[in-house]
Amino acid sequence: MPNISKMTDSHAGANHHHHSPAEEKALRNRLRKVAGQIRAIEKMIDEHTDCSEVLTQVISARKALKSFAEVLIQQHAESCIAGASDPAEGRRRLKELSTVLKRYVE
């Protein structure tokens, strides 16, 4: 699994965001849960499990991934935007987040 403590913004070059060890552990645990759910879905397909049961697992995985995104958005707002080195940097980061959020809700 990639190191989520060094997330890269594809629009701004080599910007890195560092999460605290506790934040990183919590994010990694959430991702592992989603990965486990996806593996379970794949196994269900291989075993010809009833579609309604597969879809129930898909819904669960989707909710877990949504929860991960919401935590990441909150952490980004609190640490990256609020903790920006200067007002111009804060505005730039807010604009970047706004762009990403527009794609997130599509």
Q: What are the pLDDT digits (tens) for 52-100? A: 999 999 999 999 999 999 999 898 888 878 888 888 988 888 999 899 8
- Domain limits, the chain: 17-104
- Report the pLDDT value the prediction gives residue 14, as an integer from 0 to 100: 43
In this prediction, residue 15 has a pLDDT band, given cuts at 50, 70 and 90, of low
β-bridge pairing 16-17 and 7-8: antiparallel
Predicted TM-score (pTM) of this structure: 0.72
Topology annotation, domain 17-104 = Methane Monooxygenase Hydroxylase; Chain G, domain 1 (1.20.58)
- Report the pLDDT value the prediction gives residue 78, as an integer from 0 to 100: 83
Residue 31 Ramachandran class (φ > 0 left, ψ -120 to 50 alpha, else beta)? alpha
d(CA 14, CA 49): 44
Q: What are the pLDDT digits (tens) for 56-68? A: 999 999 999 999 9
| Token couple for 45 | 């397909």
How many Å separate Cα 103 from the centre of its chain? Answer: 13
The average pLDDT across 25-44 equals 96
